[in-house]
Structure formats: C-alpha cells, structure tokens
C-alpha cells in the first residue's frame, strides 16, 4: 500500500514570506513518481511538477522549488517570496509504476497582504 502525508492542514503567511509545504510518502515500490498539484479557489487542479524516484536533484521553477530526499521519504515544496495569487490548496501525490495515483489530504495556503 502507498500513502502520502501532508501534516500541515493550513498555513498562513504574509506576502513576500517564504513558505515550505511538507510531504512525506510511503511506498514499497522501488520505482515511483511524485507530484504536486495546486487547487486554486476556482477549483480546478493544476499540475506543478512530476519527479521519478531515481532523480533526487532539487528543482527550481521561478519562485517554486522542490526538495526530494529519498532518505527521509520526503518531497517538500517551497514558495519563495509568496504572493496572494499563491493562495490555494496544494496536493502532493504518489504513483508506483502500475499503482494508481494517491493524493495527500492537501495543505491550504493563505497568503495575505
């Protein structure tokens, strides 16, 4: 069985602060894939990133960065200099080579002025 834990239910920050969203996963697969999705207030889920289990390099995309550490089974997401438009629910998800995508319970991020 596989499991994704997002322990932070809700985070509130002031604009321009950096914020890290935690994701811890469990799987018995040796090959697996990790994802982050964003769900803004409008409701749709927006794909942010996909990483496979063999690629532990950190990734940066603009103000977004991801830290993948197999040793701690974590795939954390950092937003630098947060903006109000970053307010959303963020989901971490995991899929094995043949197993279905399992989502975490999500972290609601509120960025205020």
Partner 1 sequence: DAGVIQSPRHEVTEMGQEVTLRCKPISGHNSLFWYRQTMMRGLELLIYFNNNVPIDDSGMPEDRFSAKMPNASFSTLKIQPSEPRDSAVYFCASSAGTVNTEAFFGQGTRLTVV
Name the site residues for partner 1 (rule: CB under 8 A). Answer: 32-33, 35, 37, 42-47, 50, 91, 95-101, 103-106
Q: Smallest distance from the beta carbon of 47 to partner 1, in angstroms?
A: 5
Residue 113 tokens, joined: 């002025």
Cβ-Cβ contacts under 8 Å for 42 (sequence gap 6 or more):
none
Nearer to partner 1, 46 or 60 (CB): 46
Could you give the CA distance from residue 64 to residue 80 in angstroms, rounded to a whole number?
Answer: 6
Q: How far is the CB of 102 from partner 1 (least distance, A)?
A: 8
Distance of CA 56 to the CA centre of its chain: 15
Strand partners of residue 49 = 36
Q: Which is nearer to partner 1, 13 or 95 (CB)?
A: 95
- Nearer to partner 1 by Cβ, of 25 and 91: the residue is 91
Tell me the C-alpha distance between 91 and 46, whole Å: 10
Nearest-approach distance from CB 22 to partner 1, in angstroms: 16
């Amino acid at each position: 069985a596989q499991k994704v834990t997002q322990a932070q239910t809700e985070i509130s920050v002031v604009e321009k602060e950096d914020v890290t969203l935690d994701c811890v996963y469990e799987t018995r697969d040796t090959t697996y894939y990790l994802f982050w999705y964003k769900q803004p207030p409008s409701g749709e889920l927006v794909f942010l990133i996909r990483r496979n289990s063999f690629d532990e390099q950190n990734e940066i995309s603009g103000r977004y960065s991801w830290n993948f550490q197999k040793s701690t089974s974590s795939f954390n997401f950092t937003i630098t200099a947060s903006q109000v438009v970053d307010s959303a629910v963020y989901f971490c998800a995991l899929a094995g080579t043949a197993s279905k995508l399992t989502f975490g319970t999500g972290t609601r991020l509120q960025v205020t002025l």
